[in-house]
C-alpha cells in the first residue's frame, strides 16, 4: 500500500470544539493508520500552547497557528510569527474600530477585556471555531487578559466583531499584509474569524511538509470542518469535510464523513483504506 500522509484539524474534526479528548474510535484509527505505515499530522488553528494536551497521542508532526509553526517528527521546520511592525499596526487598527482581539503566542493567548462577556452574550449556535473559544474561555485554559501581554511574537489574531461594519476599515488597511479568514455569519449577525499573515496558511503548510518529507501532494489527505480549513482541503490530494461542518466547505470537499460524535475519523480512515477495518 502506498504511504499516505493525513492532516487532521482538531476542533470539530478530531474532537468536539474546545475539547482535548478525541473519541476512542479516532485514537484507534490514528494508531491503526500509523501501524500501516501512514503518517498522521495535526493541522490546526490552535497555537502550540492550546494543542499541547493532545500531543500525548503521538503524532508524526504538527501544523499549529494555521500554518505559522510546523514540527515534523520533533523537529521545528517552520516558524513564522508576525513582524513587530505588522503586529503593532494590526493591533492598533482593530482596537480603533471596536473589534475584539485575541492574540495567539507560543506561550498562550491574550484577549481584550469584555471578550468573555461578548462571547457569553452570543450563546446560540455557532461554528466550531466560535464554540472552541467559548469553551476555552469558560474553562480558563491559559487565556490571559490583554494587559498581561508583553510583546511576545504573535502568530495570528482572532477577531470578533458585532457586525460587518467595524471590519471594513481593518480589511482596507491591513489586507496588504494579512488574509482575513472569516467564518460563515452567525444568525445573530456578528462576525468571527482570524487574520493571518499572507506568508502562510494551512494549505501552504501541507505543501511544505510534503515537500520536506518527499511525499507527493497527491498522497496527502486533509480532514476539516470549518472555513479556516479551506486551504488545507484545496491543497490535499483527498479532501474530506465533516457532515456537520461548513456548507461552503462541504461543496469543495471530495468526500463527507460523519461528525465527531458518530466516529467520523474512524469511518473516513476505513472508507479510504488508511487502516484494516476487517
Spans of all domains in the chain: 5-80+200-271, 84-197
pLDDT in tens, 22-75: 999 999 999 999 999 999 999 999 999 889 899 999 999 999 999 999 999 999
Domain 84-197 in CATH 3.30.1240.10: yes
C-alpha–C-alpha distance, residues 48 and 259, integer Å: 25
180: closest CA among 172, 112, 98? Answer: 172
Share of residues in the chain with pLDDT > 70 (%) = 90
Q: Edge-to-edge strands of the sheet including 61-64?
A: 75-79, 69-72, 61-64, 39-43, 5-8, 220-224, 238-242, 255-257
For Cα atoms 140, 15, 132, give the angle at the middle one, nearest 5 degrees: 35
C-alpha–C-alpha distance, residues 106 and 127, integer Å: 24
Q: What CATH number belongs to 5-80+200-271? A: 3.40.50.1000
More confident residue, 121 or 42: 42
Residue 122 pLDDT: 63
C-alpha–C-alpha distance, residues 168 and 144, integer Å: 27
Amino acid at each position: 500500500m502506498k504511504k499516505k500522509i493525513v492532516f487532521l484539524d482538531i476542533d470539530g474534526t478530531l474532537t468536539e470544539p474546545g475539547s482535548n479528548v478525541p473519541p476512542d474510535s479516532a485514537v484507534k484509527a490514528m494508531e491503526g493508520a500509523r501501524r500501516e505505515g501512514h503518517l498522521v499530522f495535526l493541522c490546526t488553528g490552535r497555537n502550540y500552547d492550546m494543542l499541547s494536551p493532545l500531543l500525548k497521542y503521538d503524532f508524526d508532526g504538527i501544523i499549529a497557528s494555521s500554518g505559522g509553526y510546523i514540527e515534523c517528527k520533533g523537529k521545528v521546520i517552520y516558524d513564522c510569527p508576525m513582524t513587530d511592525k505588522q503586529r503593532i499596526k494590526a493591533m492598533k487598527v482593530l482596537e480603533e474600530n471596536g473589534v475584539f482581539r485575541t492574540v495567539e503566542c507560543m506561550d498562550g493567548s491574550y484577549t481584550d477585556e469584555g471578550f468573555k462577556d461578548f462571547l457569553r452574550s452570543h450563546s446560540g449556535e455557532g461554528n466550531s471555531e466560535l464554540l472552541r473559544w467559548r469553551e476555552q474561555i469558560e474553562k480558563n485554559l491559559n487565556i490571559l487578559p490583554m494587559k498581561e501581554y508583553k510583546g511576545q511574537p504573535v502568530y495570528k489574531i482572532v477577531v470578533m466583531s458585532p457586525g460587518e461594519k467595524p471590519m471594513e476599515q481593518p480589511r482596507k488597511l491591513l489586507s496588504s499584509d494579512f488574509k482575513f479568514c472569516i467564518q460563515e455569519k452567525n444568525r445573530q449577525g456578528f462576525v468571527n474569524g482570524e487574520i493571518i499573515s499572507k506568508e502562510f496558511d494551512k494549505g501552504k503548510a501541507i505543501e511544505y511538509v510534503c515537500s520536506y518529507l518527499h511525499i507527493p501532494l497527491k498522497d496527502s489527505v486533509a480532514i476539516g470542518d470549518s472555513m479556516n480549513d479551506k486551504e488545507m482541503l484545496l491543497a490535499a490530494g483527498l479532501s474530506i469535510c465533516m457532515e456537520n461542518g461548513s456548507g461552503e466547505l462541504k461543496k469543495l470537499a471530495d468526500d463527507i464523513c460523519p461528525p465527531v460524535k458518530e466516529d467520523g475519523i474512524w469511518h473516513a480512515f476505513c472508507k479510504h483504506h488508511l487502516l484494516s477495518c476487517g
